[in-house]
Amino acid sequence: MRREIWHPFRSARTAPKEAQPRLDHVKLADAVHGHPDELPTEFITDWDDLSGVEVVSGEFVTTTADGSSNTFFEPITGLLRQVRERTGMDVVFVAQFLNGKRLIRNVASEPGDPQAMTAGQADPLEATYCQRVLDGRLPPKLSDARANPEAARLAATREYDIRAHIIAPIVTRDGRVFGTVCAYAHQPRLKLDEPRAVLQSVARALARALEQA
């Protein structure tokens, strides 16, 4: 597979200067302290070392083996399906922040779920949970979004039937915010610490892949 240079923090077609998002508009508040590898977690899981995640031809992939000495690349969606099964959440996705929008890059959901987000859709960043978590208006985990006034007023809460919600920011070592790993469920969930730890591990792996790309 041919590898290409990828610039994940800007679009292929550079937007005019005035169209670029304000740098102070996307910030981390208390969601991340220091480098992502230092995110506190009380859980040690087998997701903590995802060294097989890479960026190939502008896409996140995982490196797998076919039983021989050959390795091949699998779309990151396969990993997200495992994350969904592990956490019990209904939808898991990776989002990129680009020119003031949140672009959904990869999604794992139950087939036929009418309230799952879809890969390729883009929304104004200000209208998302992602922005509110990063600037401190929302916590990184919600047991029931409808019980939180800030989350309840978002159109996405109703459109996608979001109840339990988790976000882990994807932040590179130099502090750039690529986007987020998110998960939500259509029913409230009281215990979200372990699912959040899983998402944080995936976010760290994606950040490492971006640094090495």
Query: pLDDT tens-digit profile of 75-100?
Result: 678 889 889 998 999 999 999 998 89
Residue 185 included in any domain:
yes
CA distance 40 to 61: 26
Residue 207 included in any domain:
yes
For the chain, the straight-line distance linking the first and the last C-alpha, in angstroms and rounded, comes to: 15
Looking at residue 78, its pLDDT comes to: 82
Looking at residue 193, its pLDDT comes to: 92
Structure token pair of residue 42: 């009380």
CATH of residue 194's domain is 3.30.450.40
Q: How far is CA 63 from CA 51, 56, 151, in A?
A: 9, 10, 37
Looking at residue 173, its pLDDT comes to: 87
Which residues, given as ranges, of the chain have pLDDT below 50? Answer: 1-49, 68
pTM of the model: 0.73
Residue 2 included in any domain:
no
Domain enclosing residue 203, as ranges: 17-212
Residue 167 included in any domain:
yes
If one counts the domains in the chain, the total is 1
Residue 181 included in any domain:
yes
Number of neighbouring beta carbons within 10 Å of residue 183: 27
